[in-house]
Amino acid sequence: MTKFKNIVHQKINGISSKKNVILHKNVVDFHAKSLERNIKFDIYYPSYSFSQDIPHALLLMNDAQDMKAVKLMSTLEKFNQTSPPHPVIVVAIHPENNRLREYGTAGIPDYANRGDLAGAYTQFITEELLPWLNENYPLLDDPKYRAFGGFSLGALSALDICWQHHHLFNIVGVFSGSLWWRSEPFSEEAPDANRIMHVRVSNSVYKKDMRFWFQTGTLDESCDRNNNGVIDSIDDTLDLITELKLLGYGDGDIKYLEVEGGKHNPKTWRDVLPDFLEWAFK
């Protein structure tokens, strides 16, 4: 715990010791060998638990640029007021200008070659960032207390990383996920074919202890490629849930939240973030 105490000592000094205060640390120069660039990420943590060396649950989030808009700090502060079994550290990673290359499905770019660096990003998360966090912060050494979430394409990335590395992360948060991600261009003859995540799951096996939280909004988009009266984002999410259930996952493993009037934007994601934290960590 020594390194951890050294890291947060200056941040805690001079700040109220009031329970539930969320502190923020910005890391700007973490060199990711896998991506051959420096990565910036933000760490949010509850002040009250540090002096006691309490083990923490971990939530990684893609799309750190949206954390202010979804009011992560105030939402996390309110969540901690509910006395969760374990305090939660949130680490939000900035994609900067690399989102369309580093987010996606590892090893399988989409038909336009987007996501061609998703494998390298996965390697950064699993082999560089997570070990560094384990070394420097008092985290619970159990994937049941580790979650990964994201918005839109960042949600697809989080889901894929958890699915491929369930020994590291058991909890997934998919906010308006880009589950349309496909290996071949759209075809009217087979409008729902070639969705990469659906194929990846259907060709896989049940992974013990995994839990999935999905959210869509009824106004996420207006497209209905198969003309069944349901927008694609809802169709894609429900179809993936069906694939998961075919592998053996039950209602206790999956939560689906459909927001009436919800849009593909931070306001909707902000409104449902408390539900995700409650489901994931309590």
Write down the CATH superfamily of domain 2-281.
Alpha/Beta hydrolase fold, catalytic domain (3.40.50.1820)
pLDDT at 49: 65
pLDDT at 54: 85
The stretches in the chain having pLDDT less than 50 are: 1-17
Computed on alpha carbons and rounded to an integer, the radius of gyration of the chain in Å comes to 19
Rounded to whole angstroms, how far apart are CA atoms 149 and 170? 11
pLDDT at 18: 52
Per-residue pLDDT tens digits for 130-180: 999 999 999 999 999 999 999 999 999 999 999 999 999 999 999 999 999
Q: Residue 18: is it exposed, middle or buried by C-beta count within 10 angstroms (0-12/13-18/19+)?
A: exposed
pLDDT at 186: 95
Rounded to whole angstroms, how far apart are CA atoms 196 and 175? 18
pLDDT at 19: 56
Q: Residue 55: is it exposed, middle or buried by C-beta count within 10 angstroms (0-12/13-18/19+)?
A: middle
CB 105 within 8 A of CB 118: yes
pLDDT at 171: 98
pLDDT at 141: 94
